Amino acid sequence: MSYTGPGFEPPQPRRPRRRVLTVALAALASGGLLGWGVYAAVGGSGKDGTPEGASVSASGPASGATRTPSPSGGSTSPSAGDGGPGATSPSASAPAASGALKGKVVVIDPGHNPGNFRHTSEINRQVDIGTNRKECDTTGTSTDDGYAEAEFTLDVAHRMRTLLEARGATVKLTQDDDRPFGPCIDERARIGNDAQADAVVSLHADGSGTGNRGFHVILPGTVRSGAADTRAIVGPSRDLGERIAGHFVRATGSAPSNYTGGGTGLVTRKDLGGLNLSTVPKVFIECGNMRDSKDAALLTSGAWRQKAARGISDGIVSFLRG
């Protein structure tokens, strides 16, 4: 999914807040390697310097799973041998009996739908996003060898669900490949609103040019137009996004985007219906660029997807625990 459009706003200078996102390029002397560190000054780490919620973990699966081509030229979901979640499970989880997040509701929004390519007329239908009208949904992007964004987002969503349920959260997915197409972007927002979610994260992978690398988190801008009014969620959504960005770097080692966000890993948007129509804290995350071979090698790795799921989940845990 590409994020270039009229609503793009590069990050603006802000007065210092309790939680400040700092991006640092550090030389790792032992290996002579370069690494990025994104840290939340308060709440982003435990007293010992380890990521808060680090116990939210699962064994990192091996990469290199066999994928079979789909009718779209993409591929089916990774097999269990790739560390995938196995059989498809319901879109909503039952609340866990105990855990730090008992009573909390998290909605995960896996971008696009593997069946969208079969329903082009339906997903091209215009829907109201408050500021204007946009297509219901798109097919998303894919790697050069056909690994579809919709397959990637579902896989990471399943991994996140497992991690968050283990902490006691009730987890709901906006779609679980359990419908022919969609849902449309307005319905995706409505699902989170109706669930009265404590946090919503929309999962994506970008389709930018070769050489464009890294992740970025999309934050809602202040919008008050038509059905959209984001004023109440701008602050908490930024907090959520900053924490996710920091934990994502720690878990994956990936750098913030080198092509948007000015190196911060954060981008503010006012033209995304999924954010404009949300009444609960919500962000998007572009986990990497599928059209760059180096990023694609990460996105197609089951082990890396487990790290991505852990990083995003740890950020959510940090946000919900305050």
Instruction: Say how far apart CA 130 and CA 128 lie, in whole Å.
Output: 6
CB burial readout 104-122, b (16+ within 10 A) else e:
bbbbbbbbbbbbbbebeee
Q: Are 74 and 147 a contacting pair, CB within 8 Å?
A: yes
Q: Which residue has the tokens 């999962």?
A: 203
Catalytic residue status for 286: yes
Choosing from 52, 151, 165, 286, the catalytic residue is 286
Q: Are 126 and 134 a contacting pair, CB within 8 Å?
A: yes
- Residues 6+ positions from 114 with CB-CB distance below 8 Å: 70, 72, 74, 148, 150, 151, 154, 177
Residue 268 is encoded by which pair of tokens? 């503010």
Residue 204: CA atoms inside 13 Å, Cβ hemisphere, count? 24
**Beta bridge partner(s), residue 284:** 202, 218
Q: Which residues are catalytic?
A: 286
